[in-house]
Structure 1
Amino acid sequence: MFNHSKFTRLFICVMLLIPLAISSTTFNQGSVHAKSEQNSLETSVISEVEKIIPTPQEVQYSESFLEIYTSNQFTAAIMLGEDSPPEDLAGAEFLQNGIERLVGHKIPILTVGDDISSYTTIISIGSVESNSFNKEMVSSHNLSIPENREGYIIHNVKENIKGKTENLNSKEDLGAQGKAFKNIVIVAGNQNIGSYYGSTSLAQMLKKSGEKVLLRGVTVRDWPDMEMRAIKDINNIEGFFSFDDGMDWMKFLPSTKMNMFSLCYTHLTESGWRNPSADYLNAVNEMANYSRDTGLIQFQHELNPGYTGGLPENDEEVTQLINLFKVSLDAGGESIMLAFDDQGSTDPSSHSELANTIYNTLQEDYDFTMVTVPEPYHFGYGNIISYLKEYTENLNPNIDVVWTGNELWSHFTTPEHVETWMSYTDPSYTKPPFYWHNDPVLDLTRSFTGWQQDLYYFEDHRVPFHGVDLTSGQYIWEEMQEYTSSGVIENIFRSTTAHQIYAIELADWMWNPDAYENNENTFLRAKRYYDTLIANPAHLKKATASSEFRYPYGPERAVDGITSRDNVENAWATASGVSTIDSWWKVDLGLVREMKGVRVKYREFEGKAYMVPKSVTVQVSDDNQNWRTVIEKSDHVPNEGDIYKSNPYSYEFQTNARYIRLLFEDGGFNSLIELSEFEVIE
């Protein structure tokens, strides 16, 4: 069942790449032609660190570039279809924001039918259903979009078209001058999410060269090997994920090409599943709504009733548990997890009966996936053989069963381990286990809360499967899609920037396991992607302040990506013995750019707000001399001493500026004012 021929797969991949190489020849010739017209454009061989992450299934990088911005104007525009879906728009905005970070201006976003006569390059984003121009290009150039719903292509052609794209079949020949020739970059998904993924890949090909912005030529045909690629949070002594952290991760993960966020059942530890708090229910609704409204990521709702108050004791409580799952499904969630791990009950029949009841009841009204975590979920449990046999004997075959590999922290799981697991299940249940990855690298961040928390990345450049020989063929990691029912879920444990960079590396493995390399280049690619396209625009920018306490409380601490908590002293603080009235903190973004506001994380200590200002005024400037106030003396700040979990406070406004200053005219409630993190809202 699990025999897999790498030679056969390699042969297929080579055969698939042959038409790719042929089709991309046209682009390479076009690039050379463009270079002859614009001799100032540079050429260069792409370095390993500059390559797309996650690694595409099929990709060819050109040495040539297209010029998209020069002499203070755009020579390129993005084009969407009419009534574009949110995924297409999100992809266009991701690319647009990446360019704005380089020059401080937004590339125009047009619609099919708009005048394109002033542009030499058009970047057309959308599926053949959402963008009629892409439909024409895909058809006329006989392009092959992967059948996988998340698949996409990036293809480059040179077209002689009129100034408008509304009449695609009416092309004109303008003679030797070729004034109507356009460089067309086609970003087309099988479905809308694929178009978004293609945009995130293309954005990684941007480059600043003097005052110009260039786009490296690249031809891509790409799709994921695994259907589900998920991150789960945790909220206990091991984790410290707030609901705001979870929402931030839901917005971050699509840029990595992960497609699911799972809200951990540990958020119900205090209240219990029978009496969920209003904050919990609001978070479930908000996350599920985001999934439904954007189409960028799925939301999974986890419940572990035995861990959070005890298993249902009667039919009425079973209905109550089902209704709690309905909260997320009604709001747009697409997956649920029923967990029996780390709780007292070891009765496999009652567990599978509860799982079946929940699934059979919900499937009448909802389209969703369901995974379950059995009480023994690795080989360290003495009852695993008898439990799995009885648990899976009558389990609905549509329900996935989770394991963490042969051990709790597994780096050396083999195909034989998978076969052993399946030999323990009932013969009627034929699915391989769904894989829950507890990474030993992340165990360090769980067990030792201060481990490398003074940096926004892991100092030793660790990547998933650190120290494992992935080329040995002994383990399942390179062919993970062959050894899981539908995908992988990762327990990330922390919400820090270091863990976000690590998640980019994980996504590289989950998307294309056999191309994943657990070396420093993967870390550097992930870090480059984070720094240039994902981090908020104030990240690591030059910060100054009216005063500072002492090392390590300098103003730069508020833009280093590290949230200050009990075990991490990482915040800007005003000087001791000096009045906090009229103190200020300022950041230089390096160029004038558009912004929609700012977010501030104030200081958290022992779970409470600490050293908080009485009010905050937000000012902006283009030249560091002339300031204009966009938020005046807002008292939207945490109350000193109140319960506080480092949740960000947003101050929304619309403006263009280079410098941002927070002014604390009323001083603070305590002897100092401290800021943990500052972000610009794009």
Structure 2
Amino acid sequence: MNFITSVRQRTRWLLTVTLTLALAIPMLASPSSVSASASQTEVPPISPVPQSLQSAGGSIAIPSEVGVVTGATTDEPAIQAVEAILQQAGVQTIKRIQDNEIPTAPLNVWIGGPTENQSSAAALQALGVTGLNDLPQDGYILASGTDAQGKKEIVLAGTTPTGTFYAAQTLRQLLMSESGHKQIPAVTVKDWPKMTWRGSIEGFYGDPWSHQDRLRQLDFYGEQKMNMYIYAPKDDPYHRDQWRDPYPADKVNEIKELVTKAKQNHVELVFAISPGNTVCFSDDVDFQALMKKAQAMWDIGVRSYAIFLDDINKTLRCNADKTKFNSDTNPVAAAQAFLLNRFKTEFIDTHAGAHRLITVPTDYANITTTAYISRFAALVDPSIIVQWTGAAVVPAGISASDADKANAIYKHDLLIWDNFPVNDYARDKLYLGPLYNRDPGLADHGIIGLTSNPMNEAEASKISLFTIADYLWNPQAYNPETSWQLSIQRFGGAAADALQIFAENNYSSPLNAKESLTIQPLIGNFWTAFVGGGNVTNAAMPLTDAFAKLQQAPGILRSQLNNAGFIEETAEYLNKYEWYGKAGKEAVQMLQAQKRNNKQQAAEHRSALLDAKTHIQAITKAKSNQVFEDFFARAIRENDVWLGSDSSVPFPITTMGTYQNNTPDRMLDGNLNTYFWSNNSPAIGDVIGVDLNEIRKVSNIQVLMGKSGSLSDFIHHGVLEISVDGANWTKIANLEEQPEINAAVDQQLARFVRIRVTDTQTFWVIVREFKVTSQRIPKEPTAVLSGDDFVQANQSFTLQRRQPCYTGCICRGYDPDL
């Protein structure tokens, strides 16, 4: 899709469990169910979160010899996965046993449901487990325990071979160590996917992933129980610009290897072609080129196809198309439908085993109809799956209501093309946070699946993709923060602490405005103490420590993270954040020296801060962190005022990006013909406002949003707030569908005024003017030190005030222990 035009707190997951399996858990309950009792057993975290888990309270030690019971049709990738897990557990002898033989090993593992393994049903019965036949497609049961004869058993039984493979992925996560010995908890997991299709689409602009990137992605998808990968890199010339040309032999061999790898991981590889820019829809020569390309892929094992028509002009190029379709009420929709239906009839229907055709229409981000959509929906064969991005190209949220509206206009099964965490429209940004704001009930509202469009950075994308897989499997149980924490731990390994520090400072996205999860609250606490007379030392210490850890994190990742691809992809960001850590420490120390009235030390730290900022600004391939930039800017302004500069000049504040040259300062220039314009729709928590640069008495707030030709570009759902310190906020008014605001404020003290976004929207934001009418208050009297003009850190001093504090002013406290 074209977006330009259109520390460490390791939380272990405690699953409360029963000591018996007698408690009934509804087999097809929507949320995941975990049985509970007074006696609890710690079970390793499982991702995606299972629909149901029960525990007998104990565990099974893994002996050195294990029997593996399989049938003639047991899924081979599942067998390989189980044997790899057993080898990881230290098993020295693995005995393969046929399902018509009696196993005699100290521990036996049955692999495959009854359609794959004739003895697995009896093994489940021996453990007192039933209900496999009640599970949905690709569901599974994993049961481990001791039968009535005292025999230790583990059973992995899927309703399909894919389900059995998923059971193996769960078994891998249950392996744990106790006193140096590998064990498996005694559990019964009954699990199934809620969303039918779960995966990714390599559909971004820019450099495509490498072949090795794709192979590693497919292994990752198998581990996370994702089952679809759509091959559609925009800048693969043979996919789009040169779609008529056959792939060179070496590229064909690579795609063949991807098909094989996908099958091993139970992932459906969808081969996509994007002919829309140049195709003549009714031309037989072009159609035969399409057929020939599809056949070449069929010959190497591809069974799923997509024809994409996104990001193209809605015009007919060739005379044959104009002659054939211009009489239709919507010629472009008619032409596209003709090509799609013909390919479906002449290729998909004539190839036994071919799966349903997938397409992306030219209008793909709608919840209200267009003439094109209406005609496209009416003409395209109903069996063809339509991809849809939501109510916007990069929607902050996708609700069940959005899905209902989309179903009503597209009238086809919908597969979401989710443009998160893709960053081809923001190549200087990493989106390392979790998936947010996707309704847990989408599968019940006509959505058959979701494919995430990842970042150009393949390895870095896995952090977010982990959470997406979690959501798609079990949306009702999905918790973004919990899933993200587990993703960091799994991806980071020994370097998980450093990875969390780095990732939480690259956390925000169009879905969520949260950023710098640890440092931002500490900055707020610091400003509260700095302005309000609190203990600055107590507020400065944790903030300085957090910046120091940020400075150290990149080096730890380079030396300890076992992922060279991630280090290469994020090199510029790692360099930048090292300097951010350095700059943050210097900014805090500058302000501490200022509080001590130590001009020499303040000047030294300011110089170091400015030097660090120079290094930060030189790294242009990584976007600036707005939390840090705002902190540094305010720190320097505070220092300027302390040194005698005019404090009456206001500054714009925002967490949103800028479209073209419509910068935030334009909303403070008094000119209604200039404006700030965001470069995307705001996420929940985004803000726009003014720093008055000093505490003033505010009497009125006027905000003018939207403009001629863009009347809907304003904050549709928000709250107007004021603050003295930038950390603690007072609500002035709720804002619902108000493009122009005129709020009287009764001489309240404030330095900061902002609008905070409280709900998702599809429109961008334009602010023509953000005017705060205010009155300066008498300055706090200057504190004059007796003796020298600076004080050592460990030296007490006496303050002499020229006059008492004015009523209503905030008197700043000076801490001799600073």
Check conservation: 1:78, 1:107, Cα contact below 8 A. no
Partner of 2:390 in structure 1? 405
- Give the CA deviation at 1:213: 0.7
SS at match of 2:394: coil
Q: How many residues in Structure 1 have an aligned counterpart in Structure 2?
A: 468
The higher-RCO structure (CA 8 Å, 6+ apart) is 1
Partner of 2:252 in structure 1? 281
Q: Could you tell me which of 451, 458, 469 is aligned with 2:430?
A: 451
Q: Could you tell me which of 358, 363, 372 is aligned with 1:376?
A: 363
Q: Could you tell me which of 42, 47, 50 is aligned with 1:46?
A: 42
Closer/same/farther in 2, CA of residues 380 and 149 from structure 1, 3 Å limit? closer
Q: 5+ unaligned residues in a row in structure 2: which ranges?
A: 1-23, 316-331, 497-553, 575-818
Distance (Å, rounded) in 2 between the aligned partners of 1:479 and 1:570: 36
Counterpart residue type for residue 286 of structure 2:
E
Check conservation: 2:143, 2:154, Cα contact below 8 A. yes
Check conservation: 2:407, 2:446, Cα contact below 8 A. no
Deviation per CA, 1:624-670: give whole Å up to 9, x if none.
xxxxxxxxxxxxxxxxxxxxxxxxxxxxxxxxxxxxxxxxxxxxxxx
Please state if 1:208 is matched with 2:173: no
Partner of 1:568 in structure 2? 571
Distance (Å, rounded) in 2 between the aligned partners of 1:481 and 1:554: 38
- Give the CA deviation at 1:152: 0.3
Closer/same/farther in 2, CA of residues 563 and 402 from structure 1, 3 Å limit? same
- Sequence identity (%): 18
Closer/same/farther in 2, CA of residues 415 and 212 from structure 1, 3 Å limit? closer
Distance (Å, rounded) in 2 between the aligned partners of 1:94 and 1:501: 24
Check conservation: 1:231, 1:490, Cα contact below 8 A. yes
Distance (Å, rounded) in 2 between the aligned partners of 1:359 and 1:156: 46
Partner of 1:95 in structure 2? 85
Check conservation: 2:25, 2:33, Cα contact below 8 A. no
- Give the CA deviation at 1:124: 1.6
Distance (Å, rounded) in 2 between the aligned partners of 1:342 and 1:221: 43
Counterpart residue type for residue 57 of structure 1:
Q
Distance (Å, rounded) in 1 between the aligned partners of 2:228 and 2:415: 14
Q: Could you tell me which of 147, 155, 158 is aligned with 1:159?
A: 147
Check conservation: 1:497, 1:561, Cα contact below 8 A. no
Partner of 2:273 in structure 1? 303
Alignment of 1:220-299 (within 5 A): 220-234=189-203, 236-237=205-206, 240-269=208-237, 272-278=242-248, 279-292=250-263, 294=264, 296-299=266-269
Partner of 1:491 in structure 2? 453
Deviation per CA, 1:447-489: give whole Å up to 9, x if none.
144638xxxxx4xxx2100xx4xxxxxxx62112123442111
Counterpart residue type for residue 358 of structure 1:
F
Taking structure 2 as the reference length, the TM-score comes to 0.52
Alignment of 1:615-630 (within 5 A): none
Please state if 1:479 is matched with 2:441: yes
SS at match of 1:514: helix
Check conservation: 1:123, 1:187, Cα contact below 8 A. yes
Check conservation: 1:78, 1:123, Cα contact below 8 A. yes
Counterpart residue type for residue 55 of structure 1:
V
Tell me whether 140-149 or 392-401 shows the greater mean CA deviation.
140-149
Distance (Å, rounded) in 2 between the aligned partners of 1:532 and 1:190: 33
Alignment of 1:360-371 (within 5 A): 360-362=345-347, 363-367=349-353, 368-371=355-358
Alignment of 1:101-140 (within 5 A): 103=90, 108-112=94-98, 116-119=103-106, 121-138=107-124
Distance (Å, rounded) in 1 between the aligned partners of 2:266 and 2:40: 34
Deviation per CA, 1:106-130: give whole Å up to 9, x if none.
56252236775451x3222112122
Check conservation: 1:65, 1:217, Cα contact below 8 A. yes
SS at match of 1:187: strand
Distance (Å, rounded) in 1 between the aligned partners of 2:178 and 2:570: 42
Distance (Å, rounded) in 1 between the aligned partners of 2:297 and 2:562: 34
Check conservation: 1:156, 1:217, Cα contact below 8 A. yes
Distance (Å, rounded) in 2 between the aligned partners of 1:552 and 1:24: 43
Distance (Å, rounded) in 2 between the aligned partners of 1:513 and 1:276: 41
Q: 5+ unaligned residues in a row in structure 1: which ranges?
A: 1-12, 29-42, 161-179, 453-457, 469-475, 536-550, 572-682
Alignment of 1:52-63 (within 5 A): 52-63=46-57
Distance (Å, rounded) in 2 between the aligned partners of 1:58 and 1:265: 38
Q: Could you tell me which of 470, 476, 484 is aligned with 1:514?
A: 476
Distance (Å, rounded) in 1 between the aligned partners of 2:34 and 2:247: 56
Counterpart residue type for residue 417 of structure 2:
W
Check conservation: 1:234, 1:267, Cα contact below 8 A. no
Q: Looking at CA atoms only, which structure, 1 or 2, has the larger radius of gyration?
A: 2
- Give the CA deviation at 1:366: 3.1
Distance (Å, rounded) in 2 between the aligned partners of 1:155 and 1:319: 52
RMSD: 3.7
Counterpart residue type for residue 451 of structure 1:
L
Distance (Å, rounded) in 2 between the aligned partners of 1:85 and 1:16: 25
Taking structure 1 as the reference length, the TM-score comes to 0.61
Closer/same/farther in 2, CA of residues 526 and 217 from structure 1, 3 Å limit? farther
Please state if 1:437 is matched with 2:437: no
Closer/same/farther in 2, CA of residues 338 and 445 from structure 1, 3 Å limit? closer
Deviation per CA, 1:5-56: give whole Å up to 9, x if none.
xxxxxxxx954379xx99999xx9xxxxxxxxxxxxxx96326xx3211111
Check conservation: 2:142, 2:189, Cα contact below 8 A. yes
Closer/same/farther in 2, CA of residues 359 and 566 from structure 1, 3 Å limit? same
- Give the CA deviation at 1:295: 6.4
Check conservation: 1:404, 1:410, Cα contact below 8 A. yes
